[in-house]
Structure formats: C-alpha cells, structure tokens
C-alpha cells in the first residue's frame, strides 16, 4: 500500500514539471521571419575584496559630494532669495532689473564702470561731466533701478544731488585704498571697477562692503563752510607769521610772538632788508585779522548764552557745525570713533596692545576737544572725568606724554557726554558740569516826571543855553 502511494506521488510530480503542449501553427507565406534575439551579455567578472572596498568608497564619496553640493545650492538660494525676488518684481518692461555704476570723479572727466544685474562688470568708459549726466539719465530707461557711488573728495556733494534729482540711488563713500591684494597698481579704471564691485555687495545686503558718508543738507553744509573758512584763514595767518620769522632768521634776527603788531614792530631792531621783506606780510596779516574778527563775531553771535564753564561760544558753534546732527549717532561708541580719539589696538588670543589714537573720523574735532579739555580741568573740577584724572594730572612726577594722554581721554569722554546732553539723554547737573551764570540785566531807574511849573522850567533851560 505504501509503495503504491509513492509511485502515484512520483507520477504527479513529473506531470507538474512537464511543460504544457502547444499546438503548432503554420505562419502564412507573407509573414516576415522572426528577428533573432541578441546574445546574452557575458557574465560579470567577480571583484576581489580590494576592488570591492575601493568601489564602495568611491560611491560613498560621490554621494557625499552630491549632498554637499545640494546643501550649498540651497544656502546660496536662501541668501540670494531676497536679492533675486526684488528684480523679478520690479523689472517690469525694462531690459534689466538693476544697473550699478562705479564712478571715479575728476575735474574734467568721469571714469565709469557699469554692471548689469549680477553680471560681470563692463569695461571702463570715460565721459566729460556734461556727457555723463546725459548718459546716466539714459540708464533709467534700461533698468527699473539704477545705483551709483563715488568717493568723497574736494568736489563736495553737487554730483550726488544731481544724480539724486535724476532718480538714481547714489552713495558717497569714504575714500580708501582699493588695492586689497597689494598689486601696487592704481588706475582710474581699477578704482571704478572696485567701486562697482563693492556697490554690488552693498546693494545685495552686505553693509560692510564700504563706508557710506552722510550727506548734509545744504543749510548744514553752508554753515559748516563758514566755520571752516575761518579755520583756513587762521592757518593762513600762522603761515604768513612763520614766513616772516624765517626771513628775519635768515638775516640773523629772531622774532618772537606777534611780531606784526604795531607796538612790537616799533621795538624790533632789525636790518632794513628785513623790514622791507616783512612789510607786505604785515599788511596781509592785518587784512586777514579783520576778516577773522568778522567771522568770529558772527559765529559767537549764533551761540546760546548759557554754556558750561570752559566751553566757549566759538568752540560750541564750531563743534555744532562740524557734527551737523547729533541724533545720527546711535551709541557712545559711534561718537567716540567719529572724534578719532580712540586708541589703536592690536589684539590676538591673550595678547592685547593699545597704542596712540587712531585719528579716525573728523580731524577738525580733535583740536576743539583738546582745547576744551584743558579749560575743563581749570574751570570744572567737579566734572566726573576731570575729578577722576585730576590727582594724576597734577602729580609732580607725571610726565608730559602722560598728561597729553589724560587730556585726550578727558576730551573723548566730554565728546560722548556732550552727545548725551545734546540728545537729551542726561543733563549738565548729572555730569557735574557748571553753567556759566548770565550777568544780571542792569535796569536804569525811572526818570521822575517833570514839574508843572513852566516858569522854573523855562528859567532852567535858559540857564542851560547860557552855559552852553
């Protein structure tokens, strides 16, 4: 029985494995012969263990590089997203979204480098001032927005106001050495190209690309020019005085002080040739002094009556006109840096070195603040920086260089404190500054009314006429 079941199972297994019979069909005479199937590819050669590891490592490196490239592309798109989205919206019917112009300004020609959107800067072009203004106006027809920049210099802000009136967005930037790699090559074309490249970064959001100069209003600019004219005249007087001393020294005479004054001029015993050389200089100095007196009186008349002791009207008004607007400084570091009285610093890791002042910012503020510091030491002993440094300043063993450092430190602190006062962050009393008291007004007593006795009045007038 068991043997019969084994036989039956064997037969069934063979039946399942056998392929089913298919009827044989005869193709028609018109049917094309069946294509010959391609030969199967040869079997892959097995890799050794060393080759397998090398192949695996190469695939891993390839996948890693692809992932890094993808992340870098996403980061760039994220950073440039705002920059690319704005031109796409503002472009409109114009050929370009943004045009950037780097201008190297000279008296008779402007060297300009143009850049379309974020492309490569074009070769430099040279224009006369009149031709450049016409060309700049045409750029507004090519792009939705036009940016330009040039370095501040002796030409003032007239070009900035003209470009702004046309509709361009112009920046006046601080002059600098654009040769960052030390190639020792400086040309107008290179400067204009560096200007437009830095402008491209600034427009893209990098506010550290260059330092933008604040453009004052026309009223502020004119007021500042008057105080600067007085300063230039004062320097010219000093130059003429030094020239006179040089003439006298050449012939063996030694002039001291204000030698051009009438009293001193009569006392000097000098050769005739010296007097002949100094006489024209005396006339020029006297003419300059007359103009200086007029400008000084005008500046002092514009200053307020109540000022801290040690801060004169001339110093106050000159300081105000150089700053123009105290509210443009947001913190004490900005105003201290603008004075240029901060020390140089060379620090790395645990090493820190501070040297002399960096003289950064407005160079006309430093003499004003130094002069004010010496007066504050004399008239404001309760002022906090003065009270702090006065024991060291008056110590007999303090050197001259140390006293200068202390005066500079007091001047820097006063510049910051005066910014706080002018922006209403504190008062003079909180700083320990005393205000110069205003002199009381002298009122004359009222004149008594005349008596009604006409006879006596007429008699008095008659006597007066007789005496006269």
Q: Is 374 exposed, middle or buried (0-12, 13-18, 19+ CB in 10 A)?
A: middle
Q: Check pLDDT > 50 for residue 58.
A: yes
Question: What is the Cα 212 distance to its own chain's centre?
Answer: 4
Q: What is the mean pLDDT of residues 341-362?
A: 90
pTM for the predicted model, two decimal places? 0.71
User: What would you report as the CA-atom Rg of the chain, rounded to the nearest whole angstrom?
Assistant: 44
| Phi, psi of 199, deg, nearest 5 | -65, -35
Spatial separation of the C-alpha atoms in residues 372 and 378, rounded to whole Å = 10
**Rounded to whole angstroms, what are the CA distances from 52 to 48, 55, 63, 64, 420?**
6, 5, 17, 18, 74
The per-residue b/e assignment along 9-21, b for 16 or more CB within 10 angstroms, e otherwise, is eeeeeeeeeeeee
* CB atoms closer than 10 angstroms to residue 29: 5
Per residue in 400-410, pLDDT tens? 999 999 999 99
Segment 66-82, tens digit of pLDDT: 777 777 777 666 655 54
Rounded percentage of the chain residues whose pLDDT exceeds 90: 66
State the Cα–Cα distance between residues 128 and 92, nearest whole angstrom.
Answer: 31
Lowest mean pLDDT among 14-18, 373-377, 438-442: 14-18
CA angle 322, 325, 329 (to 5 degrees): 105
Note the pLDDT of residue 456: 39
The percentage of residues in the chain with a pLDDT greater than 70, rounded to a whole number, is: 79
Q: Does pLDDT of 128 surpass 90?
A: yes
Mean pLDDT score of the chain: 84
| Nearest of 379, 394, 395, 391 to residue 432 by alpha carbon | 379
Residues 6+ apart with CB under 8 A from 85: none
How far is the C-alpha of 208 from the C-alpha of 198, rounded, in Å?
Answer: 9
């Amino acid at each position: 029985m068991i043997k019969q079941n084994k036989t039956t199972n064997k037969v069934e297994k063979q039946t399942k494995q056998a392929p089913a019979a298919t009827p044989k069909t005869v193709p028609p005479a018109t049917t094309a012969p069946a294509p010959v199937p391609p030969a199967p590819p040869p079997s892959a050669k097995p890799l050794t263990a060393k080759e397998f590891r090398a192949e695996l490592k190469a695939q891993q490196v390839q996948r890693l590089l692809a992932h890094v490239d993808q992340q870098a592309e996403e980061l760039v798109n994220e950073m440039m997203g705002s920059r690319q989205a704005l031109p796409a919206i503002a472009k409109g019917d114009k050929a370009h979204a943004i045009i950037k112009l780097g201008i190297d300004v000279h008296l008779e020609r402007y060297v300009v480098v143009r850049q379309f959107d974020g492309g490569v800067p074009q070769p430099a072009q040279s224009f006369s001032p009149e031709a450049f203004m016409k060309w700049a106006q045409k750029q507004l027809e090519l792009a939705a927005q036009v940016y330009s920049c040039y370095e501040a210099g002796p030409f003032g802000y007239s070009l900035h106001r003209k470009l702004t009136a046309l509709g361009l967005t112009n920046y006046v930037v601080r002059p600098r050495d654009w040769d960052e790699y030390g190639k020792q090559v400086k040309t107008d074309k290179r400067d204009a190209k560096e200007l437009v490249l830095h402008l491209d970064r600034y427009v893209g959001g990098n506010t550290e690309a260059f330092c933008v100069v604040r453009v004052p209003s026309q009223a502020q600019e004119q007021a500042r020019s008057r105080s600067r004219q007085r300063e230039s005249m004062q320097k010219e007087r000093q130059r003429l005085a030094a020239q006179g001393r040089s003439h006298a020294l050449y012939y063996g005479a030694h002039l001291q002080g204000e030698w051009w004054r009438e009293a001193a001029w009569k006392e000097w015993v000098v050769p005739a040739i010296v007097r002949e050389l100094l006489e024209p200089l005396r006339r020029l100095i006297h003419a300059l002094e007359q103009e200086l007196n007029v400008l000084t009186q005008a500046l002092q008349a514009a200053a307020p009556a109540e000022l801290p002791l040690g801060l004169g009207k001339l110093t106050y008004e000159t300081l105000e006109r150089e700053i123009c607007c105290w509210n443009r400084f947001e913190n004490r570091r900005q105003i201290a840096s603008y004075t240029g009285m901060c020390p140089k610093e060379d620090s790395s890791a645990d090493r820190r070195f501070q040297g002399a002042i960096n003289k950064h910012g407005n160079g006309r503020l430093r003499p004003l603040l130094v002069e004010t510091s010496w007066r504050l030491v004399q008239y404001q002993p309760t002022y906090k920086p003065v009270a702090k440094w006065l024991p060291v300043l008056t110590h007999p063993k303090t050197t001259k260089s140390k006293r200068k450092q202390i005066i500079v430190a007091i001047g820097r602190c006063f510049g910051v404190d005066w910014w706080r006062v002018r922006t209403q962050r504190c008062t003079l009393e909180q700083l320990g500054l005393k205000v110069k008291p205003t002199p009381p007004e002298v009122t004359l007593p009222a004149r008594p009314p005349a008596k009604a006795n006409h006879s006596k009045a007429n008699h008095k007038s008659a006597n007066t006429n007789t005496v006269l």
